């Protein structure tokens, strides 16, 4: 039985108000009673495929089957990108200069737009609208973005790193985005999925789609899904 997003209809059934898409292309703010939170299944740390095998199989794939991902798959990917691996110090799966963690993760699915929170390993729903076509338009019309059942957007907030590292901060943020992206690509392979890195995008357009503040810069889009036959 397909397990994809089984929690969402239950939340709707009990009358929780979900945010809606604004006409200007931005994601609506959370309702006054609070955003919808979705707890993710605990990630596995002992997969059935070796790292070496994942490295040998990883290829960029731009055409995806329409089959949605399960909540467990989505949670595993989010954890691989930014999950906490040392709770006492808050350290994560990807290295970060000074452990300052300037990156944020957003997920686009047919069920809406979500923000991943490493603390608590959960999603916050920002919109219940399918915004993949809008994201694709902001990525210069790339079909892999609109066709994938999951798009992960990596954004950076440079100020989190600037206070300590000054002029080199921007470089450190870019390096960290690369670490996160590679984690995602390899985790996708381990799950039997495919992915492609997308760096060609209109920063301001992606900011509008997500309703981001001016100081939050989109860095990467990674479409993920089952490869098309």
Condensed to tens digits (0 to 9), the pLDDT of residues 170-210 reads 999 999 999 999 999 999 999 999 999 999 999 999 999 99
Tell me the CATH number at 197. 3.40.109.10
| Structural domain harbouring 202 | 34-40+47-225
Q: What pLDDT, on the 0 to 100 scale, is given for residue 22?
A: 34
Task: Please determine, for residue 1, whether its predicted confidence score (pLDDT) is greater than 50.
Answer: no
Beta-strand runs (E) in the chain: 36-39, 84-86, 91-92, 103-109, 112-117, 122-127, 150-156, 194-195, 217-225
14 lies in a domain?
Answer: no
Task: Please determine, for residue 26, whether its predicted confidence score (pLDDT) is greater than 70.
Answer: no
Confirm if 85 and 91 have CB atoms less than 8 A apart: yes
Confirm if 111 and 188 have CB atoms less than 8 A apart: no
Domain count, the chain: 1
SS3 of 27, please? strand
From residue 79, give the alpha-carbon distance in Å to each of 19, 146, 151, 161. 25, 23, 15, 22
Query: Is residue 57 classed exposed, middle or buried when 0-12, 13-18 and 19+ CB atoms within 10 A define those classes?
Result: middle
Task: Please determine, for residue 216, whether its predicted confidence score (pLDDT) is greater than 70.
Answer: yes
| Residue count (the chain) | 229
102 lies in a domain?
Answer: yes
- Reported as a single tens digit per residue, the pLDDT across 93-149 is 999 999 999 999 999 999 999 999 999 999 999 999 999 999 999 999 999 999 999
Six-digit token string for 211: 């309703």
- Reported as a single tens digit per residue, the pLDDT across 32-52 is 466 899 999 999 999 999 999
Confirm if 113 and 125 have CB atoms less than 8 A apart: yes
147 lies in a domain?
Answer: yes
18 lies in a domain?
Answer: no
Q: pTM to 2 decimals?
A: 0.85
Task: Please determine, for residue 4, whether its predicted confidence score (pLDDT) is greater than 80.
Answer: no
CA 144 to chain centroid, in Å, comes to 15
137 lies in a domain?
Answer: yes
109 lies in a domain?
Answer: yes
Q: What is the DSSP letter of 99?
A: G
- 3-state SS, 135-155, equals HHHHCCCCHHHHHCCEEEEEE
Q: How far apart are CA 42 and CA 29, in angstroms?
A: 28
4 lies in a domain?
Answer: no
């Amino acid at each position: 039985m397909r397990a994809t997003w089984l929690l969402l209809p239950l939340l709707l059934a009990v009358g929780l108000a979900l945010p809606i898409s604004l006409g200007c292309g931005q994601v609506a703010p959370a309702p006054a009673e609070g955003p919808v939170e979705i707890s993710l299944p605990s990630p596995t740390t002992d997969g059935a495929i070796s790292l070496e095998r994942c490295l040998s199989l990883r290829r960029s794939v731009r055409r995806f089957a329409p089959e949605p991902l399960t909540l467990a798959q989505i949670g595993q990917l989010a954890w691989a990108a930014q999950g906490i691996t040392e709770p006492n110090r808050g350290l994560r799966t990807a290295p970060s200069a000074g452990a300052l963690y300037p990156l944020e993760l957003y997920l686009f699915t047919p069920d809406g737009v979500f923000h991943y929170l490493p603390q608590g390993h959960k999603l916050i729903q920002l919109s219940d609208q399918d915004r993949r076509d809008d994201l694709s338009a902001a990525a210069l019309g790339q079909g892999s973005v609109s066709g994938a059942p999951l798009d992960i957007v990596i954004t950076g907030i440079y100020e989190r790193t600037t206070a300590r590292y000054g002029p080199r901060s921007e470089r450190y943020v870019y390096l960290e985005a690369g670490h996160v992206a590679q984690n995602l690509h390899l985790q996708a392979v381990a799950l039997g999925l495919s992915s492609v890195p997308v760096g060609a995008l209109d920063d301001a357009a992606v900011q509008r789609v997500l309703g981001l503040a001016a100081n939050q810069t989109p860095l990467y889009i990674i479409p993920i899904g089952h490869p098309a036959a």
